[in-house]
Amino acid sequence: MAEGDFVVEFVTFSDAGSFYQADPVNIADDAGNRLYFEACLLPQDQITFEADDSGFLQAFAGSDLGVQQGRILSGSSTKFLSVVTGAQFASLSTPLLTGSVENFKRLRSIGTVDEFSDSNRFIISTNKMEFVLTDEAPIPTNGIQRVQIEDVEGFFQDKRLAHLTNFQHLPPINRPTVDFPDGLPLGYYPRLGQQEIMTYEQLEADLIDRSWQTVEFRPTSRENNVVAQFFEAGSDALKKLDVIDFGSFLTKDEDRPEKRVFFVGKVFIDGTNVPTFVNLFTLVFE
CB 264 within 8 A of CB 279: yes
Backbone phi and psi for residue 246, each to the nearest 5 degrees, phi listed first: -80, -10
Q: Return the top range by mean pLDDT from 40-44, 144-148, 217-221.
A: 144-148
* Torsion angle, alpha carbons of 163, 169, 174, 176, to 10: -30
pTM for this entry: 0.80
According to the model, what pLDDT value does residue 149 have?
92
Predicted local distance difference test score (pLDDT) of residue 81: 65
Q: What is the pLDDT of residue 73?
A: 79
State the pairing for strand pair 231-233/82-83. Answer: unpaired
Average pLDDT value for residue range 182-202: 90
Q: Convert the pLDDT of each residue in 102-140 to its tens digit.
A: 888 888 888 877 777 777 778 889 989 998 888 888 888
- Alpha-carbon distance of 286 to 282, in angstroms, equals 13
CA 151 remoteness from chain centre:
26
Mean pLDDT of 57-61: 79
E strands, the chain, are: 66-68, 71-74, 82-83, 231-233, 238-240, 242-250, 258-269, 275-285
Cα-Cα-Cα-Cα dihedral of 164, 165, 171, 174, to 10°?
160
Residue 91: CA count within 13 A, CB half-sphere: 6
Look at residue 242 and tell me whether its pLDDT is greater than 90: yes
Mind listing the pLDDT tens digit for each residue in 2-46? 888 888 887 888 877 777 777 777 777 777 777 777 777 788 888
